[in-house]
Amino acid sequence: TAFVPMLIYAFLGTSRVLSVSSSATLAILAGTQIGLAVPDGDPGKLITATATLTALVGAMLLLARLMRLGFLANFISSPVLSGFKAGVGLVIVLDQVPKLLGIHITKHGFFIDILNIVRHLPESSLITLAVAAATLLILIVMERLWAHSPAPLVVVGGSIAASWYFGLQALGASTVGVIPQGLPSLTLPDLTLVEQMVPGALGIALMSFTETIAAGRAFVRPGDPPINANRELVATGLGNLGGALLGAMPSGGGTSQTAVVRATGGQSQNVSIVTAAVALATMLLLSGLLGFLPHATLAAIVIYYSIGLIQPQEFLAIRKVRPMEFHWALVATVGVLLFGTLQGITVAIVVSLVGLAYQTARPHLYILGRKRGTDILRPLSEEHADDETFEGLLIVRPEGRLFFFNTDYVKEQMTALEVQHQPRVIVWDMSAVPDIEYSALQALIEGEKNLSEAGTSLWLTGLNPGVLDMVRRAGLDQKLGPERMFFNVNAAIEQYQARRATPEGNG
C-alpha cells in the first residue's frame, strides 16, 4: 500500500507533498468490509477480498472522474476545513496515546476513549513510556536545532537498534513484530465478491476522495499549484487499481503522513518517489529489522507531527474576522470528534452548505451616497458622514445573486427602507447583481407595480447583459422605459436632479 499507490500518485497527482497510502480510517473501514466478506478469516481469501475491494474503490474513483464529480470537493469552506483538520488532529493524537502508554483500550468514541485512557493509566508500561519520551525528546531537540532535520529517520533507526540490543520486547515494550519479506504475489479480484462489496467500496471511495482533497488542500502553501479535484480522482483511482494487483488495501491521501512530509521539509513528490523506493527496499531487505520497531516510537512520531494540524491561532483569526464562520469551524471539529472522520466530513460539508445557504439567503442591501465633489458612490456610513444624499431619492445597491431563496428577505428589507425614508424615487443599482432568477424577477415586477400605486417610482441602473436580457424577456423594460433605466447611478442622479429642477418634475 505504501509502494504502488504512492508511486502512481507521485506522477499523476497535483499536490506537491501529499502522501498516499492507507490511512487509519481507510484501514478500519476496509478491515470491517473484508471481515464481513471473509468471516472464516482464511488468509488466502482475505488477500483476494482485499484486492477486490481495492479494485472496486479505484474503479469508482475513475467513474467519478468520468462523471466530473470533482466539484464536490469544493463544498468544504476554508474555516470548516480548519475545523476538520483540528478534529482529525485530535482524533489521531488520541488514537496514538494508548500505544504511547503501553495500554490497551476498547475504542468507542473520542470522549469515552479519553475516560478509558484515564482509567487505565495505572497500567501504563514504564519501558514503553521511556521509549516514547526518548523519541519525543529527540524529535523536539533535533527539530529545534536543525531545520528540516531527518529526525523521524534517526528515531526509527535508533529505536530499532535499541530494541534489538536491549531486548525491549522482553522488557514489556510492544513492537511491530514479524513482517513478511519480499514483494506480494500478483492477486486478481474475485468477481463473485463484487456485488457484496459495492456498498462498502462506495463509502471507502468517498472517504478516500474526501480525505485526499482535504489533506491536499490542508497542506497547500503560497506558490504551490492548486489541487485539481478531477486529477486527484484519476491519480487515486489508478493508484488503487494498481495496488489491487499486489493485494494492497484501499489508499488515499493521508493527513498524518502528509503532516510528517511537510514538517520535515518535503517540497515535491520526489519525497513520495523516495518513500516508495525505500518501501520497496524495505520489503526486499529490511522486513526483519522493522519487526524490532517499538509501537511507542511510531506513536510518538505521529503525535508530534499531527499536533501541527491543531491551530488555535487560526481559530482566533477566524473568530476575529467572521464570528459566524468560527462557529462553523467548531461544529466541524466537534463533528469529527463525535462521529468520526467519515461522518465528520459529512458534517463539514453540511455545515458549509448551511453556511452558504445562510449567506445567500441574506444578501446585503446598501444605501448609497456620493462623495462630495466627485462621482464616487459608496455605502453610507459614520466614517463618511458628510457624503451627499438627495432629497426624495433613495439609492439602494443589493449585492449577490437574487433568487427564490432570498426574495422574501429582500422584499422585507426594501419595505422597511421605504417606510423609513419615504422616497419619491428608488434607484436600484444592479451593478453588484450577477444574476436574477425568475422568482426574484417576478417579485421585482410586482414590487414596481406596488411602488407605482403608492406614488413611488422605481429606476434601474447598472444591469449586466445577462440581467438586462432577463428584464427584457419579462417585459419590464417596456414598462419602465428608457427614462427609468440607466447605464450607471450617476446618470440616474443627473436625470433626477434635472426633473427636480422643473415645476412638473415629480419623478
| Chosen domain end from 357, 376, 398 | 357
Neighbours of 438 (CB within 10 A): 12
CATH code of 404's domain: 3.30.750.24
Q: Which sign does the torsion angle of CA 256, 293, 283, 179 carry?
A: negative
pLDDT, tens only, 237-263? 999 999 999 888 999 988 777 877 877
Please give the pLDDT value at position 92: 80
Q: Does a structural domain hold residue 506?
A: no
Same domain, 351 and 431: no
pLDDT at 402 over 50: yes
Please give the pLDDT value at position 507: 42
503: confidence class by pLDDT, cuts 50, 70, 90 = low
Q: Does a structural domain hold residue 83?
A: yes
Q: Sheet harboring 425-429: ordered strands across? A: 377-379, 365-370, 393-398, 425-429, 457-461, 485-486
Same domain, 110 and 81: yes
Please give the pLDDT value at position 16: 86
| Chosen domain end from 357, 380, 401 | 357
Quote the CA–CA distance of 278 and 443 in Å, as a whole number: 66
Same domain, 204 and 350: yes
Same domain, 335 and 390: no
* Least confident span in 47-56, 69-78, 300-309: 69-78
Please give the pLDDT value at position 75: 67
Choose from 15-29, 169-183, 457-471 the range with maximum mean pLDDT. 457-471
Average pLDDT of span 215-235: 86
Q: Does a structural domain hold residue 313?
A: yes
Neighbours of 142 (CB within 10 A): 16
> For residues 275 and 251, is the Cβ–Cβ distance under 8 A?
no
Same domain, 490 and 454: yes
Please give the pLDDT value at position 79: 86
* Least confident span in 8-17, 144-153, 287-296, 495-504: 144-153
342: confidence class by pLDDT, cuts 50, 70, 90 = low
Q: Which is more confidently placed, 210 or 114?
A: 114
Same domain, 41 and 176: yes
pLDDT at 116 over 50: yes
* Three-state DSSP state, 107: coil
Neighbours of 146 (CB within 10 A): 10
Burial letters for 334-364: b for 16+ Cβ neighbours within 10 Å, e otherwise?
A: bbbbebbbbebbebbbebbeebeeeeeeebe
pLDDT at 181 over 80: no
Same domain, 324 and 369: no
Q: Which sign does the torsion angle of CA 374, 377, 382, 386 carry?
A: positive
Quote the CA–CA distance of 30 and 49 in Å, as a whole number: 10
Query: Rg of the Cα trace of the chain?
Result: 31
* Cell numbers standing for residue 254: 493521508
28: confidence class by pLDDT, cuts 50, 70, 90 = low
Same domain, 309 and 423: no
Q: Does a structural domain hold residue 261?
A: yes
Please give the pLDDT value at position 465: 95
Q: How far apart are the first and last CA of the chain?
A: 74
Quote the CA–CA distance of 176 and 171 in Å, as a whole number: 15
Q: Does a structural domain hold residue 127?
A: yes
pLDDT at 213 over 60: yes
Same domain, 317 and 339: yes
AA identity, residue 126: L
pLDDT at 335 over 70: yes
Average of per-residue pLDDT values in the chain: 88
Please give the pLDDT value at position 420: 94
pLDDT at 470 over 90: yes
Q: Does a structural domain hold residue 507?
A: no
Q: Does a structural domain hold residue 107?
A: yes
Domain that residue 392 falls in: 365-500
Residues near 121 by beta carbon (within 8 Å), at least 6 away in sequence: 101, 103
Q: Does a structural domain hold residue 37?
A: yes
pLDDT > 90: percent of the chain: 48
> For residues 458 and 426, is the Cβ–Cβ distance under 8 A?
yes
Please give the pLDDT value at position 221: 81
CA 158 to chain centre: 37
Q: Which is more confidently placed, 233 or 358?
A: 233
- How distant, in Å, are the alpha carbons of 59, 62, 203, 253, 426 from that of 66? 11, 6, 18, 20, 50
Helix (H) or strand (E) holding 216: helix 194-218
Same domain, 345 and 487: no
* Least confident span in 70-84, 117-131, 370-384, 439-453: 70-84
Quote the CA–CA distance of 251 and 22 in Å, as a whole number: 4
Residues near 238 by beta carbon (within 8 Å), at least 6 away in sequence: 8, 12, 58, 62
pLDDT at 376 over 70: yes
Average pLDDT of span 91-102: 88
Domain count, the chain: 2
Same domain, 384 and 319: no
Please give the pLDDT value at position 109: 83
| Chosen domain end from 336, 357, 378 | 357
Same domain, 481 and 349: no
Average pLDDT of span 174-198: 83
pLDDT at 350 over 50: yes
Please give the pLDDT value at position 74: 67
Q: Which is more confidently placed, 129 or 40?
A: 129
pTM of full prediction above 0.85: no
